[in-house]
Amino acid sequence: MTRKACVIGWPISHSRSPLIHGYWLRHYGIAGSYERIPVPPEELSDFLARLVQRGFAGCNVTLPHKEAAFRAVRIADGATGRLGVVNTVFARDGELWGTSTDGEGFVASLAASLPGWRAKDQTVVILGAGGATRAIVGALVDQGSGRIIIANRTRARAEELRRDFGSSIEPRDWTETSDVLGFADLLINTTSLGMTGQPALEIDLGNLPKSAVVTDIVYTPLETDLLRRARTLGNATIPGLGMLLHQAVRGFELWFGIRPEVTADLYDLIARDIDPGYRR
């Protein structure tokens, strides 16, 4: 039987998920398909209600449907329950279930670059407090992280993360960013600053310890200005594309029954799609 999955959003033309899942379908020789389907917000609940009937094993959900899909399906795990969004929907025993794989994608990307890294006893400095931050903080707290300093332009959103995820979270003002970098074992940019078409992330890296690892969830460009500057200073850096690839793993496993591997070949394929001039 041919298994089918898809990604839904509005608009959906920019999604790289078909390229990622298409690569794995070919790589594992699975008779399946993964398509891109534009679904306007007013059609989301009908679309999900008929998903299984139309032969789909599930779907990825992207903007602007992540919250509405959360309300429309059964939630598969407590970690997703805390987030209020799903990015992966799957059918089980005639019902639709949803989960968020962003947090595990982040942690898996980190583990792939830094084998043996543990959040415990570490100070993580996070820039930003949006939806992606919630998923990352949830995954870090579940790992038993040490200290998580969150600097956000709207401080109230960082305070909210402390309420939801506990006292290891330290909210800070955005203006304190350069100061708190001095504590970082790991620095994560979760803001949209530095993304192609968005304003630059203008922070002074002078206080950043040489031993700090720097990562960005932005993957367009593949190497953000933050990562380039950190690399020039001698810091280890982890590009955001790894998180995108690793967050796709569980969906593929749920729909097609094989836990796929994030390989260098897959990385190169998607990196070249983002930047045709990319060289490993």
**Residues belonging to the active site:** 66
- Residue among 3, 27, 147, 153 that touches ligand ATR (CB under 6 A): 153
Nearest approach, Cβ of residue 192 and ligand ATR (Å): 5
- Cβ distance to ligand ATR smaller for residue 132 or 262: 132
For position 196 contacting ligand ATR by CB under 6 A, the verdict is: no
Binding status of residue 192 toward ligand ATR by CB under 6 A? yes
How many of the other CB atoms lie within 10 Å of CB of 220? 16
Which secondary-structure segment (H or E) carries 6? strand 3-9
Say how far apart CA 149 and CA 160 lie, in whole Å. 13
- Torsion 124-130-132-134 (CA) sign: positive
Enumerate helices (H) and strands (E) in the chain, giving the number of each: 12, 12
CA distance 120 to 140: 9
From 17, 191, 215, 224, residue interacting with ligand ATR (rule: CB under 6 A): 191
Alpha-carbon span 178 to 206, nearest angstrom: 8
| Binding to ligand ATR, residues 76-135 (CB under 6 A) | 128-132
Sign of the CA dihedral with 11 first, then 16, 18, and 19 last: positive
When the beta carbons of 216 and 223 are compared against ligand ATR, the nearer one is 216
Shortest gap between Cβ of 156 and ligand ATR (angstroms)?
Answer: 8
Residue keyed to tokens 């306007």: 40
Residue 152 binds to ligand ATR (criterion: CB under 6 A): yes
d(CA 70, CA 75): 7
Does 237 interact with ligand ATR (rule: CB under 6 A)? no
Residue facing ligand ATR at closest CB distance: 130
Binding mask 170-189 for ligand ATR (x = CB under 6 A): ----x---------------
Q: Using CB under 6 A, list all residues that contact ligand ATR.
A: 128-132, 152-154, 157, 174, 191-193, 199
